[in-house]
Amino acid sequence: MAPSLIDDLSALLAPEQLLAGDAALPFDRDLSDGTGVGVPLAAAFPSSTEQVASVVRLAAKHGVPIVPQGARSGLAGGANAVDGCLVLSLEHMTGILSIDVADQVATVEAGVLTYDLATAVEQVGLFYPPDPGSWQISTIGGNVATNAGGMRCVKYGVTRDFVRGLTVVLANGDVVRTGRRTVKGVSGLDLTALMVGSEGTLGIVTEVTVALLPRPAEPVGVLAAFPARQAALAAADVIMASERRPSILEFLDRGSIAAISAFEPTATLPADAEAVLIVQSDEPGRTTGDANEYAAIAAFCGATTVEIGRDKAGVEAIMASRRALHGAMRAVAGASLNEDVSVPRSRLTELLDGIDEIAERMGMPIATAGHIGDGNLHPIVAFNPADVASVALANETYQQVIGLAVSLGGTSSGEHGIGTLKQAHLDAELGPTLRALQREVKRAFDPEGLLNPGKKL
C-alpha cells in the first residue's frame, strides 16, 4: 500500500509537530461566528521555512489542500478548515531574526505576535505602526495575509504600507523571496504587494521584512461625548480637515457604548451619550497642543463631556473602553458578526443612516463603531448562536449592511479580509471581469488549487 500523507509527514516532523484526526479539530476555524468549517485531515506545525516547503511538497504529492493559519484571530473565515485539508500552522515560527536600526527594518518569522514585534523595536527607539485590534494575539503573518489595519491607520496606513519583502513558499514547495530591504525599488512586478492581503491563496508567507519609523511621542488622548451622532461626525470632519493629523480617531455609537458599559466594569463612558469620539496625537513636540485643539473642536461641535488623558495611564483608561468592543458585543447575545466596511468619508452619514434603516426593517439591533478617521467602520450584529432563526436573521442583516457599503462606493472589507464570509458581494464590488482576472492570477501561482481553496476569490 502506498504511504499516506500522514505517514510521510510523520517521517518528516517530530511527534509534537503533527496532529491527526480528532486531535486536529481544535485548529479547524478562526474567531469568526457563523462561518462554515470543514473537518481537517491533520494539522502540521513546521518550525522553519524549509520544513514548510517540505510539508507543502508532500501535500502537493498527495493532492491534499492546505489551509495556512497564524493565530486564528481572523473574523471572516479565512483560516477555517475545508474537508480533508492539511491545516498548516505557523505559530511555532516566532523568531525575530533581525532589527536593523540603521536601515530601519526588521525581519521576523510569520508566527511572531504583532505586539512582540512592536515591543522589540520600541526598545531600540523604533516604531512599527500597524496595530490591529487583536495585536496582542495576532501574528505578523496573519496581518500580511489579510492586510490588517487598526486604529493608527488614519495616520500611518495599513500593513501593506510597511511590508518591504517576503519569504514565500509556493504551491509546489518552491521558496521565493519578494521585494527588497531598500526604500525604493521597481524591478519587476510588485509581487510583495500582491501577496499582502491574498489570504494564503497564492503562497504561504514564512518570513516578513517590515519598514520601521522613529519612535513617536507618548500619545495624548481625548474622549468626547456628544448628544447627537451628527455632532460627532461634524467634529471628526473638522479634525480631519485640520493641520493637526490625529494618530487615532475612533467612533462609538449608542449601542456600542451600552454594550461596553455592561461588559467592562471599569468603563467610564457617559451613559447618556449618543456618540463618542476618541482622538489621539503622537506628534513629537505638539501632543498637548493637538489634544487641546481636538478638545476645543469637540466642544465647539456640541460635545457635552470632554476628557483629556495627558499621561500613559490617562490614555490607557480612555483606550480600554474601545478595546473592549468586540468582547462586549459577543457578550450581548452569545455571538456577533463583526462587520468591517469602508466608505469614502463623505458618505459616512449615508452609511450610518442606512444601517439604522436596515436595523429597524430587520428587527435586529446593530451597534456601529470603528475607525471613523479613514471611513472604516464596524457595524456589529449580535445574535444567539443557539437559535437558528436568530443566526439566519443576523446573516441576512449582515449581508445587507455589506451591500449598502458597496452601493455607496465603498468596500466589503477594509481590514478583516474576505475569507468565506464576504464572497457574495465581490461581483457587485469588483465585477465579473476583474474577478475572472484574479482567478487567472490564482491559477498561475496555484494551478492545482490546493492553497486555501474556497477563500478570498
Q: What burial class does residue 379 get, using C-beta atoms within 10 Å of its C-beta: 0-12 exposed, 13-18 middle, 19+ buried?
A: buried
Grid cell for residue 95? 523568531
The SS3 of residue 252 is: strand
Amino acid at 281: S
Residue 359 backbone zone (phi > 0: left; psi -120 to 50: alpha; other: beta): alpha
What residue ranges of the chain are covered by domains with CATH 3.30.43.10?
5-89
- Note the pLDDT of residue 2: 58
Question: Which sign does the torsion angle of CA 361, 366, 370, 376 carry?
Answer: negative
Q: What is the rounded CA–CA span in Å between residue 107 and residue 199?
A: 20
Query: Mean pLDDT in runs of 10 for the chain (457 residues)?
Result: 84 97 96 89 98 98 97 92 98 98 98 97 97 89 95 96 98 97 90 97 98 97 97 98 96 96 88 96 97 98 96 91 89 87 96 97 94 95 92 92 96 90 89 95 98 95
Grid cell for residue 145? 495575509
Q: What is the rounded CA–CA span in Å between residue 196 and residue 164?
A: 11
Q: What is the rounded CA–CA span in Å between residue 31 and residue 420?
A: 13
Q: Are 204 and 88 in contact (CB under 8 A)?
A: yes
- Note the pLDDT of residue 33: 81
Q: Are 106 and 99 in contact (CB under 8 A)?
A: yes
Contacts of residue 290, Cβ cutoff 8 Å, sequence gap at least 6: 220, 244, 246, 281, 283
Q: What is the rounded CA–CA span in Å between residue 87 and residue 25?
A: 10
Long-range pairs, 388-394, Cβ under 8 A, ≥24: 390/333, 391/34, 393/362, 393/363, 393/364, 394/34, 394/335, 394/337, 394/364
Fold of 326-428: Alpha-Beta Plaits (3.30.70)
Find out if CATH 3.30.43.10 is the number for domain 5-89. yes
**Grid-cell match 502540521, residue found:** 44
What residue ranges of the chain are covered by domains with CATH 3.30.70.2740?
326-428
Q: What is the second-level CATH architecture of the domain 96-214?
A: 2-Layer Sandwich (3.30)
Q: Are 248 and 154 in contact (CB under 8 A)?
A: yes
Could you tell me the pTM of the whole model? 0.93
Fold of 220-263+276-322: Alpha-Beta Plaits (3.30.70)
Contacts of residue 411, Cβ cutoff 8 Å, sequence gap at least 6: 341, 342, 343, 405, 429
For 324-345, b/e burial (b = at least 16 CB within 10 A) is bbbebbbbbbebbbbbbbbbeb
The interaxial angle of helices 348-362 and 388-407, nearest 10 deg, is: 150
- Note the pLDDT of residue 246: 98
Query: If you write DSSP's letter for every residue of 327-363 in order, what string do you get?
Result: HHHHHHHSEEEE--EE--GGGHHHHHHHHHHHHHHHT
Amino acid at 76: A
- Note the pLDDT of residue 1: 41
